[in-house]
Chains A and B, each alone.
Chain A
Amino acid sequence: MTRPADPTHAPRREALVDAALARLAADPADAAPLPDPEPIYWRARVIGRLAERQQAAERAGRPLELVQLLAALALAALAAAAALWLEPDLLGWMARAAGEAAALGGGSGRLALLVAAPLLLGAGLAGLQLLSENR
C-alpha cells in the first residue's frame, strides 16, 4: 500500500506553494488597465485647498461662507460637466469630495446644503440626459 503524498512534507510543500504563487502572480487579470490617477490627484488638491482656506479663515476669524460658496460653485461646474459627459466615475468621486467638504465644514447644515445642491443638480442633469437618450 502506498502512502498518499504528504502536503506538509517540506520540499514538496515549498515547491507547491512557490509554483502556486508564481501562477497567481502571473494572473493576466492583474494586467487590466489601472484607474486614472487624475481624479485622485485633483480630489486631493481641491480638498487640500479647501481645508487650507478654511484654516486660514478660522485663524483670521472670518466667516467661511465665501470660501464655501466658491467651493460649491466649483463643484457645481464639475457636476454639470460630469453630467453632460456622463462620467459616472467622476460623479462618484465628486460625491466623495463633497462629503469631505461637508465634513470640513464641521457638519454645518448650510454647508452641507451648499455642497449637496450642485451634486443634486449634476445627478438631475445626468438623469435627464439618460431619459432623453432612452426616449
Chain B
Amino acid sequence: MIWSLALGAGATAEAGAAGQEPAGRPSAGGAAAASPAAPAPFDEEGFTALYHGVARPLRAYLRRLTGDPERADDLLQETFYRFLRAQRPPLDERQRTTYLYRTATRLAQDGWRRAARERRRRAAAPPEPEAAPPPDRALALDLDRAFGDLKPRERALVWLACVEGAPHREVAEVLGLAEASVKVLLFRARRRLARALDRRGVAAEDLR
C-alpha cells in the first residue's frame, strides 16, 4: 500500500508549491535542477532510504506485469537508475512514487511485445508433460495464470488500483490514461479477471 503511505507522508509536501521539496527532508532532491549533468542529488543514504521504502511494492507490481521475477528485478534496478539520472524538477514523495511507477511501467511496456511473441511461441509448441503440483501450489499457479490472462495494461490497472490502492488520478498518470476512463477500464479488467478465474476453476471458496 505504498500509495496510501506516500499520500500520507507526502501530504504536507503536496500542500506546498508544485516542484518544491518538502521541508525537513535533507536527503531529497533539492538540488536536482542545479546542474543538467548531475541529476542525482541523493546521497547514498537518502537513496537507500527511498529505495527501501518503495522497492518492494514496486517489484511486486513489476512481477505481476512481467510474470518473470528475474526480469522484475532487472526492471526495478533500471527504474531506480533512471530515476537517479533523470533531469527533472524536484518532486515530493507522492510525485516520486508516481514517477517511479510510471518509469517502471514504461520499461515493462518495452518488453510486452517480446513477451507476447514468447507466449505465442509457447502456445504453438506442444505442451510438455508436467507433474501435478501440490494443491496449494496449483491454486497459486491458477491465480498467476488467470492474472496473466489479462492484457498488460489491465494487469497494471488492477494491481495499482486494487492492490496498491492508488487513487484513479495516480493510476491515470502512471498509465498515461484519462482519469475519467480509469473507472470503466478497471470495471472491464475486473470482469475479465473474474472470467479468467472462473475458466480456471478458481472459486471464491478456494481462496478463503
> A residues bordering B, Cβ < 8 Å?
5, 7-8, 12-25, 27, 29-30, 32, 34-35, 37-41, 43-45, 47-49, 51-52, 54-56
A25 touches B207 (CB 8 A): no
Show 17 A/B contacts (Cβ-Cβ < 8 Å), sorted by A. Answer: A13-B194, A16-B207, A19-B204, A20-B202, A22-B207, A25-B163, A30-B59, A34-B52, A35-B55, A38-B48, A41-B44, A41-B84, A44-B40, A48-B37, A48-B84, A52-B37, A56-B37
A16 touches B37 (CB 8 A): no
Looking at B47, B56, B194, B202, the one whose CB has the most chain A CB atoms below 10 A away is B194
B191 touches A8 (CB 8 A): yes
> B residues bordering A, Cβ < 8 Å?
35-40, 42, 44, 47-48, 51-52, 55-56, 59-60, 63-64, 69, 73, 76-77, 80-81, 84-85, 139-140, 143-144, 146-147, 158, 162-163, 190-191, 193-195, 197-198, 202-204, 207-208
A17 touches B40 (CB 8 A): no
Q: In the complex, which residue of chain B has the Cβ closest to the Cβ of A28?
A: B140
List A contacts of B37 (CB < 8 A): 48, 51-52, 54-56
A43–B198 Cα distance when bound, in Å, is 46
Chain B interface, DSSP helix/strand/loop, else mixed? helix
Looking at A17, A20, A22, A45, the one whose CB has the most chain B CB atoms below 10 A away is A20
Choice from A14, A24, A34, A55 contacting B190 with Cβ under 8 Å: A14
A37 touches B47 (CB 8 A): yes
Chain A interface, DSSP helix/strand/loop, else mixed? helix
A34–B195 Cα distance when bound, in Å, is 33
List A contacts of B202 (CB < 8 A): 16, 20
B198 touches A7 (CB 8 A): yes
B204 touches A12 (CB 8 A): yes
List B contacts of A12 (CB < 8 A): 204
Choice from B42, B191, B207 contacting A19 with Cβ under 8 Å: B207
